[in-house]
Structure 1
Amino acid sequence: MAICVPARNEAAMLPGLLAAIAQLSGDLGALDVCIHLDDCRDGSAALLDQLAPTLPFRLTVAQGGRDGPPNAGAARRAAVAMGLALLVDGEGLVFTTDADSQPRRDWIMAGRKALIEAEVAAGRIVRTHGGNDPQASRIEHYYDRLHRYRRSIDPVAWEARDTHHFSGGANIAIRASAYRMMGGFLPLPSGEDARLLDDAARAGLRVRRDGAMVVETSSRREGRIAGGLAGLLLALDRGEPPRMADPRAAAWQWRAQAEARRGFAMIDRVDVRLTLGERLGLTADHILGVARDCPNDEAFAMRVVPASPDHKAMISLCEAEDILTGLETEWREMAA
């Protein structure tokens, strides 16, 4: 088992991360912690050399450097490659987190349990001193509600009862075989974590968002990449009103995915293809062509359903919350 961490000038945060990993509970077996130093110039390498002999696990450190701006995806991909190389026979579990984060004591145990049900598990991310950022907490609560609504209209057997919306690389666990099969983290400047989860679902892998897997991360405003949490917090500090995608667009897509999931087992029937094609604005032949390339109903649902043709405008958080409340009420009345 390997814990893989990209780091860029994180000498101040790395001791806290390593201390938290040292306190992880359960039988961890042969645990490797792999840290990829991404063009670090703050003494991180020397610090890790000093700490390594004091740690109850094997620490492997590699240094990378490049010209140009930081690339979160490339750094995380390099960190995971280090971990994969150390797994016995290349098999096992890979966990990834961030250098400014600290997993809770039962993180590995919760991740192992989650990966019994799925190939990929995304855990909950809790901001340190999050109470100081009520607007950010409100946004997170909204997205949690939105994801729970998704699973109410498109339930899957592998989802956690305590589910959430988070898809951050600070808290992901994955089977090594699944990671290799799908090609791993892409070298994107940002968003590589959400892309991995999306690619996994499109490949037909089970992605579980499990609230029992918890990592605490910093609420700092000095981020290492553009478009990250620090940038959001800074924007909120400046009083910039958050703009959200209209939840009706997501609701349309998720209802269609539920219909596609149900129809996959009967996709050889012309009437099923015609009905689904009419719903999605696609021909029956197109529906069949996509289905033939899909290993299961998850891959089919994720691949065949396009984005909603309506509700493309961005709206305020208040508007999004009100619309979601209406969608939730409508669903409860239909399910009653």
Structure 2
Amino acid sequence: MVICVPARDEVAMLPGLLSAIAALSVERDRLSLCLYLDDCRDGSVALLDRLASGLNFRLVVARGGDRGAPNAGAARRAALAMGLDLLAGGEGALFTTDADSQPGRDWIAAGISALARAEVAAGRIVRRDAAADPQQCRIEAYYDRLHRHRRIVDPVPWEACDTHHFSGGANIAIRASAYRALGGIQPLSSGEDARLLDDAGRAGMRVRRDGAMLVETSSRREGRIAGGLAGLLRALDQGEPPRLADPREASWQWRGQAAARTGFAAIDRVDVRAALGDRLGLTPDHILGVARDCPNAQAFAMRVVPSSPGAGVLVTLSEAEALLTELEGQGCEIAA
């Protein structure tokens, strides 16, 4: 197993990361940590030189230069490339987290179990001192509820019972073969983690969100990238009211994906294509064209369903919670 971590000026956080990895319940001779130091200028190199000999796992360090604006995707891509090099073209599991994070003791074991059921696994992320940010806790609880609603209206056999909404790079595991097939993580300044999961789904891969994979991360306000957790926490500190997408729009899309998933096996039938097209606002010919390019029902469901007609509508957190409660009632009727 290979853990791949990008870091930029994280000298204060690296000891916690190293200690957590040293405590993982995994055979030591099978564990490697690839650290990509993204032009660090804070003493990270000296710290690692001092600690390396006392570690009970293999540590591989690479140093990047050309200090520009932080690019989370490029840095994580470089870290994962180091992991692929260690695997030398063979199969295996790639794990990635952040330098300010600490995986739980059973993180690797839970990830390996998840990857026996899916090509990609996204684990749960908890924040240290989360109680100090009640608004963010409320937002996270809402999104967990929303994802559970998704799996009621569009159930898939590879999803974990203890599922969640997180898709952050602080807690992802992926089969090396799947990562290669996807062409790697995209070098985006932010959102590269969610994009990886989206790309996997559109390729027909199974993406499992598994709460047994647990990573604890910081609640710091000084982030390394724009649009990250730190920026969101700062905005909440400043009293900016959160605005969320209307959950009815997501529910419309997920119900459409469920219909597409069910109809894929019989997509050669004109009546099936016509019914799905009526539901999605697409022509039967368009439906068939997409289906012909898809290897399986998962890829078809992820590719053919457009954004909902009302996508882009934002509501307050209280409104979103109330609307989700209504949807959950409808979901219970469906499940019954």
- Give the shorter-chain TM-score range: over 0.9
Distance in 1, Cα, partners of 2:97 & 2:155: 28
Aligned to 2:286: 286
CA contact (8 A) 2:153 2:258 kept: yes
Distance in 2, Cα, partners of 1:201 & 1:249: 19
CA contact (8 A) 2:152 2:335 kept: no
Distance in 2, Cα, partners of 1:334 & 1:60: 51
Aligned to 2:229: 229
Count of aligned residue pairs for this structure pair? 336
Amino acid at match of 2:110: A
Q: Give me the TM-score of the superposition, normalised by structure 1.
A: 0.98
> Do the aligned partners of residues 291 and 29 (structure 1) sit closer, same or farther apart at CA in structure 2, a change above 3 Å counting?
farther
Distance in 1, Cα, partners of 2:68 & 2:101: 25
Render the CA deviation track for 1:93-144: whole Å, top value 9, x for unaligned.
0000000000010000000000000000000000001111110000000000
CA contact (8 A) 1:144 1:164 kept: yes
Q: List alignment gaps of at least 5 residues for structure 1.
A: none
Amino acid at match of 1:271: D
Aligned to 2:22: 22
Distance in 1, Cα, partners of 2:141 & 2:204: 28
Distance in 2, Cα, partners of 1:82 & 1:109: 22
CA drift at 1:283: 1.2
Q: Give me the TM-score of the superposition, normalised by structure 2.
A: 0.98
CA contact (8 A) 1:247 1:323 kept: yes
CA contact (8 A) 1:248 1:311 kept: no
Aligned to 1:202: 202
Does residue 164 (structure 1) correspond to residue 164 (structure 2)? The answer is: yes
Amino acid at match of 1:91: E
CA drift at 1:28: 5.1
Distance in 2, Cα, partners of 1:160 & 1:107: 15
Structure 2 matches for 1:1-336, cutoff 5 A?
Answer: 1-27=1-27, 29-310=29-310, 312-336=312-336
CA contact (8 A) 1:6 1:76 kept: yes
CA contact (8 A) 1:158 1:208 kept: yes
Q: List alignment gaps of at least 5 residues for structure 2.
A: none
Render the CA deviation track for 1:9-46: whole Å, top value 9, x for unaligned.
00000011001000001335421100001121101111
CA contact (8 A) 1:160 1:210 kept: yes
Residue 62 of structure 1: SS of its match in structure 2? Answer: strand
CA drift at 1:302: 0.2
Moved over 6 A (4+): none
Q: Which moved more, 1:124-133 or 1:304-313?
A: 304-313
> Do the aligned partners of residues 311 and 183 (structure 1) sit closer, same or farther apart at CA in structure 2, a change above 3 Å counting?
closer
Distance in 2, Cα, partners of 1:112 & 1:212: 11
Distance in 1, Cα, partners of 2:159 & 2:141: 18
Residue 253 of structure 1: SS of its match in structure 2? Answer: helix
CA contact (8 A) 1:23 1:105 kept: yes
